[in-house]
Copies of this chain bind each other. A is one copy, B any other.
């Protein structure tokens, strides 16, 4: 590979001048600049990051540590958001998966230190409480899609499950639904609590009582090996004498099962029963017919803005608030009809 010295030799200048050109520093005559640029183009010179890192003792690198993220398809967009931010800002990103193993997590931190990363993004697949296990390493960091078990400590960026669920519920109510079946997410997930609370608060606000809603537990047990009651509970809700006119589901995959249950009973969607999901997991929400009305998790933005926030922290700027929440916008499709 051609080095800065080689470029300097060919351009008939010193290596420092080439450095100035490459880094757009001032005090270079226009014609010198042009000449150096031409040699750079001709030789295909690209600065060596490792050398730059060594000299400046800044790696310009951040590490992403994920739990099951690559095992499961859901939140790959978080990583994409981070990478897009990094590419747009000349930063390098290092990715490590723990697959949920603590020893791999420690190993990953070691790898990160070897690369002298300047900050870390801790990304979880589900919106949940997390306890990053970084050994003795202390580094600027940002939790994405999770929050710390220890109240005081870490900065985070999270989806606003509450707002998403509230808006979805308001939408359902605005369509005239007054008998609502609700299938809860696994209570282990943060979203479960927030979505459910928002749902209850919103229907109460609208004047509905306990008898108007019927809340069932869709899933429970440890993540990854949960027991799934969705299909059965959906059927049970729909078999009631006074069956709900709409089923609100903890997420889109639960909505899928609600579809199967409803269709299996000969009900048409949305004529006989409306269904809404949550997440906007498109391989499901768009494959369903009719397409699913849902609330979208802002995965890409969580990543993009999380990286941005971490970078501010690295630069020493104080964060306006420890936790930032991003809206889950309503996505209206055709699975929820007026009563």
Shortest CB distance A116–B (Å): 6
On whether the beta carbons of B287 and A115 are closer than 8 Å, the reply is no
Question: From A137, which residue of chain B is reached at the shortest CB distance?
Answer: B44
- Chain B residues in 8 Å Cβ range of A256: 256, 284, 287-288
Q: Does the CB pair A50–B46 fall under 8 Å?
A: no
Complex Cα distance, B257 from A191, in Å, reads 28
Shortest distance from the beta carbon of A314 to any chain B beta carbon, whole Å: 15
Q: Return the CB mask of A1-43 against B: 1 if under 8 Å, else 0.
A: 1000000000000000000000000000000000000000000
Chain B residues closer than 8 Å to A253, beta-carbon distance: 283, 287
Tell me whether A114 and B49 are in contact (CB under 8 A).
yes
Stretch at the interface among A160-168, A179-187, A260-268, A324-332: A260-268
CB distance from A321 to the nearest CB of B (A): 28
A211 interfacial by beta-carbon distance below 8 Å? no
- Set of chain B residues within 8 Å of A313, measured between Cβ atoms: none
Given the complex, which residues of B lie within 8 Å of A260, measured CB to CB?
259-260, 263, 288-289
Inside 8 A of A113's CB, which chain B residues have their CB? 1, 46
Of the 9-residue stretches A69-77, A141-149, A199-207, which lies at the interface with chain B?
A: A69-77
Please state the number of chain copies in the assembly: 2
Smallest CB-CB separation from A1: which chain B residue? B116
Q: Which residues of B contact A257 (CB under 8 A)?
A: 287, 289
Name A77's contact: one of B49, B71, B94, B288 (CB within 8 Å).
Answer: B71
Distance of A93 Cα from B64 Cα, bound (Å): 12
Contacts of A278 in B (CB 8 A): none
111-145 of chain A: CB within 8 A of chain B: 111, 113-116, 136
Q: Please, which residues of chain B bring their CB within 8 A of the CB of A281?
A: 73, 283
Which of A70, A108, A111, A115 has the largest count of B CB atoms less than 10 A from its CB?
A70
- Contact yes or no, A92 B115, CB < 8 A: yes
Across the interface, do B95 and A44 meet the contact criterion of CB distance under 8 Å? no
A47: interface (CB < 8 Å): yes
Stretch at the interface among A79-87, A151-159, A236-244: A79-87
Q: How many residues of A contact B (CB 8 A)?
A: 57
A115 proximity list for chain B (CB < 8 A)? 49-50, 92
Chain-B contact segment, one of A51-59, A170-178, A304-312: A51-59
Any chain B CB within 8 A of the CB of A110?
yes
- Choose one: B70, B72, B264; the contact of A79 (CB below 8 Å): B70
Chain B residues, Cβ within 8 Å of A284: 256, 283-284, 287
Tell me the smallest distance from the CB of A56 to a CB of chain B, in Å.
10
Q: Which residues of B contact A1 (CB under 8 A)?
A: 113, 116
- Asked whether A92 lies within 8 Å of B92 as measured between CB atoms, the reply is no
**Which 9 pairs across A and B sit closest by C-beta, in order of nearness?**
A73-B73, A263-B263, A70-B80, A50-B53, A50-B50, A46-B113, A70-B76, A49-B114, A253-B287
**Which residue numbers of A lie inside 8 Å of B, CB to CB?**
1, 44, 46-51, 53-54, 59, 69-74, 76-77, 79-80, 83-84, 87, 92-97, 99, 104, 107-108, 110-111, 113-116, 136, 231, 253, 256-257, 259-260, 263-264, 266, 268, 281, 283-284, 287-289
Given contacts A83-B97, A92-B94, 10 further A-B contacts (CB under 8 A): A50-B59, A70-B83, A73-B73, A87-B107, A253-B287, A256-B284, A256-B287, A257-B289, A281-B283, A283-B283
